[in-house]
Structure formats: structure tokens, C-alpha cells
Amino acid sequence: MKKYAFNEITTMQFIFIISGIAISYGFIEIPQVLYKGAGNSGWIVLILGSLTTMAANLVIVQAMKRMPDGTILDLLAKYAGRWVGKAAAILLSAYFLYFAYTGIVYSTRVIKARILQETPAYMTLIMLLIPAYVVARGGIRIIGRYAELSMGLSLWIPLVFAVVWKHTHWLYLLPVLPDGWRPVWNAVPSTFFYFLGFGSTAFLYPFLKNKEKAALGVCCAQLITLSAYLFITLLSFAFFSPGELTKINQLSIYMLKAVELPFVEQVEGLFIVLYLFIFSMSWIPPFQLSAFCLSWFADRADHRMTLRIILAGTAVFSYFYVPGFNTSYEMGDWLEKMGILVEYAAPVLLLGYLLLYDAVRGRRRPS
Amino acid sequence: MRILSLFGGKSRRNVRRPGGSSGGHALPDEPFATDLRSNLDKLGKLFPDTLDLTVRRLQIRATGEDAALVYIDGLTDKIDIHTGIIRPLLMETGASGELPIEIGRMVRIYGWNDLTVAVLKGSSVLLVEGSDEAIVMRTGGWPQRDPTDPKMETSLRGAQMGFVETIEQNVAMIRRYLPDRELKFKNFNVGRRGNTQVSIAYLEDVANPDILRELEDRIGRLDIDLIINTGELAELIEDNPYSPFPQLIITERPDAAVSQIAQGRFAVLVDRSPTVLIGPASFVSFFQNIDDYSTRWSIATFIRMLRFLAFFISISLPAFYIAVTSFNFELVPIKLLITIGTYRGTVPFAPFIEAAFMELTLEMIREAGVRLPSPIGQTVGIVGGIVIGQAIVQAGLISNIMVVVVAFTAISSFILPNLDMVAAVRIIRFSLMAAASLFGIFGLLLGLMILVGHMISLETLGTPFSTPFAPMRFSDWRDTVVRSPLWKLTRRPLGAHPVQTRRQGDNRRKGDG
């Protein structure tokens, strides 16, 4: 039974969804987090964090290999019982909803702070839900196309940042590892937040056209995420002096103040707006996955109804309350804790359970 | 899974499998009587007040039988009838026992329904005493025009011949380009009263059978009175009629149609309509023009890029103007801002009102130019150019910059080669202007995001509209924003899902000779 036929995504779409979700969260904030964690060796932390994530992601792929035609929920239902699947559906739906909400609140706050100071935040947020609905109602396949396109449309970003190249001082990066490895190791978990989103692999896997390329795909996705982060981190480390690095918020945006183009005055304003394509990757796919989980729970094949409920709920809620910047960072901290649990720890436990299950099952009924 | 089926279904709400396809005034198919007199009585009842129905009684010299020739005067070719049917029947003493008729296409029919259809479509029917069958002879000859050069899609190098209103001639024009056994035509009759012949033309070994089935299904399910024009058919069978984008190409050029057929697409010919429908069409196919392939590839590439740029400018420039003049001043370099301010200072309207007014005026001028006969048409140019362009600025109602923006937008939209796409651009432009007036540059980008989201969800005949950008198909990029040299286009574009992808071998000359 192929439940998800005609809704396939290509390997490239798979890669871009995973890395798109991650990058949208981290690209603006990560240099500062790394610097606070491990000083100018923060970029080494990044590589280690990325390798850990890659391993965690491969664990998910390994677990999903048992269920080529179903999502993680089908897998749980098959191996641990129907109700475990249902419970997981609710939990994951809540997780992805929170993930999406955190992302959309953060984007709203950045937009409000930088370009739309006068417009009430709830209005911005509700407006952002419209493209989310237009894209997410099409299902995973349309999300895949959107990921491809939004990454493609954002290829200009490195070029803009290349303009600040002449203001960089690469000596700031030296000495490497001034305090030894300890701060580096300690800082690794703080990067996990910015790699979150690879848990979507567990839902994308059955839609993937070439399943044998899944492992390669997740490695590529993590490499893309890593290279985007390394690029912006190294550039900000070389651009800002050590004193500035801790004092300025949102380094990536601030850096663009140095860019002078003949036809645009404030490049960073335009950047924020165009960066929406990447930003949106932090909420559109999670909203869709949340709706997907919920409709799986309700045994409905069509996720559009649940998507409408979720988005309408978000809109109504936001009309009354939109978290401020500080709250959104706190929400991020919570998301980090949940994310480490859901995306790093849970897959390992799941794979362990599956191996055990197979071992017990294999002894009982050799085949 | 068909995306948007929620909306797609509604458009075809009046579909019903036509059981009795001749509909309202259908008769049970009655056989002919053997007696000529009672047959003619019956004919008189079927066509009571039909002045142009001609019934010619004659005696066939070869057999000595009485007969009657029935045809409609205006729909038939008189020379054919006189020299090909009536004269031989009266004069020839046929030896072989066969009727001496000098018409190529003859069919025997056995019932009144067939007779009605045949007569009304311009054939002549011969009823013979003592026989319960009739002979239909194709003698159609209604008023028609010669193929002239296409009016809307002019081309510099392409053929100077456009489709005409008769499907047979259109089929012939396509065959002239593709004398290939694999070129197939699937025929349908659409419309209970119109009974319009609709043919799907495709290359059987290239085109995708699934898409063909989808297309056949959509045309076959139509239950409608009458189709006058190709555009009506397009609206009835396209995937999402609520989208601003056209999802099928309408062309009046045989060479364009054939070039699409050769890429594995389908052309739908509609009798009585001088345009042909082509599908599945992707977004980029609305930016391609037949001339692109007959000019040198470097210049064709340049023009393609120009078109995409023009598309972008013409949907977003007025919106961008509104955004920077009413919200995001910080984006504009200070010198330019001062210039804009100098002219905007005296204008009493908000930027959105100003822009909407000018864009609406432009649309009106354009629409007026389309419908007016050409002698009066020149006046529109004068009124538009001098009165609205110059006087309105001097009166201080609209700023100079706005006029520049409008002119730039207009020029950009003129570059687009497809009329339907230009129409889409106009609608999108106004929506983006509204979005920009509410949320500035953020609104503009929000609008573009929604547009992108809509475009990637849009399907045409069940294939993605936004190919080859999303889903990404790099091999198809050779004929999109760039037009690669012809020898590089060795494969047919995958967007139409052709079953045979190889288009040509290696045609690049090698060596130094």
C-alpha cells in the first residue's frame, strides 16, 4: 500500500526542506550565540554541532528504513501500538505548532523592529499566515517546491555579504582555541537549537522518491546548513571587533549597514524583507507537519481542514496577544529544550527500541 | 492527487456524460422509408421553414431511378454540386452499376439523425427511390477567408500564415509542418447545439498518454450548448479558473503550435475558431516566442532575460513606488528621495490613489485602443499622450515621477509576448499595489510570496505549472531564461512529461572544416 504516492518529493527538495527549516532560525542569531559560548573559536563548535546533528539525523533515517511507505506515526503505530501512534501524533503536532509559532513570532518581531514599526504586530503576523496557508495546503510536495524556490531565490544573500568583505579583519579569528577545548565542548549543545527541524525527516521520508538517497540527502542538508552558518559566523567574527560582538544584536543584519549600493539606501531593510522567503521556512513546513499529525490523529486523509483550524486558531490567538522580543527568545529556549528531547534524544531511543523489538521478535519467530 | 481540486471541481459543475448527445430536440433515430415521396414529406416536417434548404428532384440516368438531392444553399460549394453530382447523375450512363458521382468523400447513412447533422454541416444527401439508405457527399463550401498573417502574434522571421476558421485547413497547416505518421488527431464533438468539432493533435510516440487521457476526459465530459471560441474551451477545461495565470496557451500561429506539439505537448483545434489551444503550458512557456529560435541564440537569450525582467517590473514597479513613497523612505537614496519629494510635494493625493488613478487610466487607454477602429484609434494616442501625460502633471494632480513609473510599467508589459500573461500581469499589479499601500515593502513581498505560493501549487493538465523552477529540473533550464544554442537542446523539455525525450542528435559541427 503506497499511502503517499503522487505526492513525492525529489532528493533536492528533501535536502532544501531540512536545511531551510534550520537556516531560517539560525542565520541571524547564530554568530552571537557562538561567540558568547566559545569566543572566537565558536566556528569549531559549529562543526561539532553539525556533526552531532548529522548523526542524530542519520539515526532517524535508519529508524525510518523500516517503514518506507509510512511516516514516523505509522511506524510507531506498527511497532508500539495504535495508541502510542496517536499519542505521538498529538505530541508531535503540538511540538511542530510550537516550533512554527516561535518562528513566526520571531519573524514578526524582526519585521516590526526593522521595517514596520507603526503597524500592529498582530496584523503583521496574521498577514504572514496567508502565504503559509497558500503553500501548506498543497501538502508536502508543494512545500518541497517552495523550499527549492525560496532557497534558490535567496542565493543573492552571500553576494550581498561579500560586499562587506573589504571591511573584514581576519586577525580577530586568532588565536585559535585560546582557552583550550573545554569551552568548545560546553558550547556544543547551545548550537542544537539552530539545527532543529531535521525531525521533519521522519515525515518526509515516505514522500521521498529515491529512498536510498535519504542518508546522502540528510548529510547534504546538514552540510548546507553548516556552510551557511560557517559563512555568516566567520564573516561576523572577522567583521566585528570582539567588543562589538557581544553588544550588538542580530549581527547579520547589522553587518549590512556597511553595504553601500548606489540604488538602495538601507540594504538591511530590503534584506529583511527579501529574507522572508527563508524566514518562512521556519513556519510554513512546521505548520504543515502539525496539521499533518493532527489529521493523522483524526484519521483524515486531507490535512487542509486541520491546517485551516490551526492557522485560524493562531490568527485569533495572535489578535489578542503577540509575544514581545524577549518573550520570543524565552520561547526559543523552551523550544530548544523540547527540540533536543524530540529530535535528538527520542530518535535514539526509538532506534534502540526497534532494534530490541527486532531481536526479541527474531528470536521468537525465525524467518 | 490534484491540488486545488476543491476549486477545480466547481468550474466543471455542469458536467454530465451526454447520453443522447444531440440533446434537447433529439429524435429517436428513425430509419428512412423506401418510398421517396414519404421521405420527402418527412424532410419537410423536419425542416419546416428553412428557406435555404434546397431539394432537387432528378432522375438518375444510369439506373432510371427517381432521386432527390438535399443540401443547404449557403453551406455548400455550388460548383461541386453542379458538376460533381447533378450533371453526372443526369448525363452519365454508368456501366458499372455504381452511381456516377464525382465527389471524393461519400458515406452511406441509414437514419434521419445522421441526415440532419450532415445537411446542417454542409454536406449534400442523395435520397434514392426504393432504397432505405442515403448517400452523404462532402460538399461543404461556406464563406471562409484565406490564411493571413497572424494579427496578435506577429513574428519577424516566422511563417506569415495564421490559423483560419475552418478546422480542416488548420489541420492541413499543422500537417504541412509535420508529415509524420505519428501525428495523430483525436476528434470530439462538443456542444449539443453547436456540435463543434474539436481535435486534439499530438505526436503519439512523444506525448504522454496520461496527459492525453486527462485532456480527453475533460473535453469529453463537457455538456454545453455551444462553443464559439477557443477561449471558452480553455476556461472550461483549465485546472484552476480562479487563478490569475493562464494555464493553457492560445496561439494563432501554426508554427508555434507545431513547435509545441514536437515538444510533446497537445494542441486542441476548435472548428470555427482561428486559434489553437496548447497544453500543458508552464509559466516559462508564456515567455517563449517562435522568433526566439530563429534569431541567434545570444540575442534570443538577451530578449528572454529582458522579458522576465519586464514581467517583474510590470507587476511590482507601481507597488514599489507606493511602498517607498508612503512607507519605506529609508530604502531610497537621499538624492532620489529629494527629487521624488520635489515633484510629490504639490500632489494632493496619497501615493496609492495617485498610482491607482494613473494605472487605471493606462488600462482604459489600452482598452480603448484595442476596440476602436484604427482611424479613431490615433486620437486615443493623442489624448493619452498629451492630455493625460503632460496636462495632468502641469495641473499638479499627478507627479512627474508617477508618469514615469506608469510609462515604464506600460512599456514593460508590452514586451511580454503572450496576451493572456499580460492580462494576468495587470491583475497582479493592482493587487500588489493594494498590498504595498497597506504594508509598504513588506506588503509587496508578502504579495510576491503569496504569488509564488500560488504559482507552485498551480497545475496545468495535472503537471506542475512552475516547472522547471519548482520542481527544479536543471536540464530544462536550457530553454527558459536563457535560450541555449539549438544543438544543446538535445532533449525535449521534461515539463510536458514526454515519453520520448531525445529530440536531436549531436548537430554541432566539429573540427576546423
For the sheet with B276-279, list strands across it: B183-190, B196-203, B266-270, B276-279, B249-251
Residues B355/B344, Cβ–Cβ less than 8 Å: no
pLDDT, residue A163, reads 82
Q: What pLDDT does residue A5 have?
A: 54
* pLDDT value, residue B310: 95
Q: Can you give the pLDDT at residue A299? A: 86
For residue A95, tell me if it sits in a domain. yes
For residues B343 and B433, state if they share a domain. Answer: yes
Burial label, B270 (beta-carbon count in 10 A; 0-12, 13-18, 19+): buried
> What is the mean predicted confidence (pLDDT) over B140-165?
86
The string of pLDDT tens digits covering residues B397-406 is 888 888 899 9
What is residue A44's three-state secondary structure? helix
Query: What residues in B contact A119, CB-CB < 8 Å?
Result: 439
Kindly report the average pLDDT of chain B as a whole number: 86
Could you tell me which residues of chain B have a Cβ less than 8 Å from any Cβ in chain A? 1, 3-4, 6, 327-328, 330-334, 337, 439-446, 449-450, 452-454, 456-457, 464, 466, 469-472
Mean pLDDT across the stretch B234-241? Answer: 91
Q: Do A10 and B471 touch (CB under 8 A)?
A: yes
Between CA A199 and CA B431 the distance in angstroms is 37
CATH classification at residue A213: 1.20.1740.10
Query: Nearest CB to B440: which of A116, A144, A265?
Result: A116
- Pick from A13, A138, A149: which is nearest to B452 by CB? A149
| Minimum-distance CB partner of A111 among B330, B442, B453 | B442
The x, y and z cell numbers of residue A12, run together, are 533536492
In a domain, A36, yes or no: yes
Given this model, what pLDDT does residue B94 score?
Answer: 67
B424 and B317 fall within a common domain = yes
* Closest chain B residue to A126, measured at CA: B446
pLDDT at B513: 61
Shared-domain flag, residues B270 and B400 = no
Percent of chain B whose pLDDT exceeds 90: 38
Domain presence at residue B423? yes
Min distance A272 CA to chain B CA atoms (Å): 9
Q: Which of B450, B456, B473, B497 to mutate to test the interface with A (most CBs of A within 10 A)?
A: B456
**Rounded Cα gap, residues B446 and A274, in angstroms:** 10
B124/B203 same-domain check: no
Q: Does any CB of chain B come closer than 8 Å to the CB of residue A142?
A: yes
β-pair partners for B107? B136
Rounded CA-CA distance A72/A60 in Å is 9
Q: B247-265, pLDDT tens digit by residue?
A: 999 999 999 999 999 999 9
How large a percentage of chain B has pLDDT more than 70? Answer: 94
Which residues of chain A does B446 touch, with a Cβ-Cβ cutoff of 8 Å?
127-128, 130-131, 276
Segment B343-359, tens digit of pLDDT: 888 888 899 999 998 88
Q: Which residue has the higher pLDDT, B386 or A328?
A: A328
Considering the domain architecture, whether residues B334 and B374 belong to the same structural domain is answered as yes
Cβ-based neighbours of A363, under 8 Å, separated by 6 or more = none
Residues of chain B positioned with their CB less than 8 A from the CB of A138: 3-4, 456-457
Q: Is residue B50 situated within a structural domain?
A: yes
- Kindly state the average pLDDT of the residues B459-488: 86
B395 and B272 fall within a common domain: no
Q: Is A134 on the interface with B (CB under 8 A)?
A: yes
Domain that holds residue B368: 295-464
- How many domains, chain B? 3
Q: Which of A145, A261, A277 should one mutate to test binding to chain B, selecting the residue with the greatest count of B CBs within 10 A?
A: A145
Examine the domain organization and report whether B409 and B313 are in the same domain.
yes
| Residue A358 φ/ψ, nearest 5 degrees | -65, -40
In this structure, are B113 and B191 located in the same domain? Answer: no
Any idea of the CA torsion for B469, B470, B472, B475, to the nearest 10 degrees? -50
| Whether A273 and B441 lie within 8 Å, measured CB to CB | yes
B210's grid cell: 496520461
Q: Where are the alpha helices (DSSP H) in B127-208?
A: 167-177
The Cα A298–Cα B430 span in angstroms is: 41
Domain final residue pick, B232, B251, B281? B281
What confidence tier does B9 reach under pLDDT thresholds 50, 70, 90? very low
Beta carbons of B446 and A130 less than 8 Å apart: yes
Is A130 in Cβ contact with B456 (below 8 Å)? no
d(CA B247, CA B241): 9
pLDDT (tens place) for every residue of chain A, 367 residues total: 345 556 788 999 999 999 999 998 788 888 888 888 888 888 888 899 999 999 999 999 988 888 888 888 888 898 888 899 999 999 999 999 999 999 999 999 988 888 888 889 999 999 999 999 999 998 899 999 999 999 988 888 888 888 888 888 888 888 777 777 888 888 888 888 899 989 899 999 988 888 888 999 999 999 999 999 999 998 888 888 888 888 888 888 888 888 877 777 788 888 888 889 999 999 999 999 999 999 999 888 888 899 999 999 999 999 999 998 889 889 989 999 999 999 899 999 999 998 898 888 776 654 4
Taking only the tens place, the pLDDT of each residue in B12-71 is 434 433 433 444 444 567 888 888 888 888 888 888 888 888 899 988 888 888 899 999
Here the cell at position B11 is 468550474
Residue range B89-110, pLDDT digits in tens: 888 876 666 778 888 888 888 8
- Strands (E) across B259-309 are located at 266-270, 276-279
Domain membership of residue A350 (yes or no) is: no
- Sheet containing B106-109: give its strands across: B53-59, B66-72, B124-128, B134-137, B106-109
Whether A365 maps to a domain, the answer reads no
Whether residue A13 lies within 8 A of chain B, CB to CB, comes out as yes
Comparing alpha-carbon positions, the chain A residue that sits nearest to B447 is: A131
Of A128, A144, A149, Cβ closest to residue B469? A149
Whether the per-residue pLDDT at B4 is higher than 60: the answer is no
Q: Provide the domain limits for residue A251.
A: 5-332
Q: What residue of A is the nearest CA neighbor of B438?
A: A119
Is the pLDDT at B3 greater than 50, yes or no?
no
- Indicate the number of domains in chain A: 1
CB pairs under 8 A between A and B: 105
Domain-embedded: residue A287:
yes
3-class SS at B84? helix
Sequence length of chain A is 367
B129 and B25 inside one domain: yes
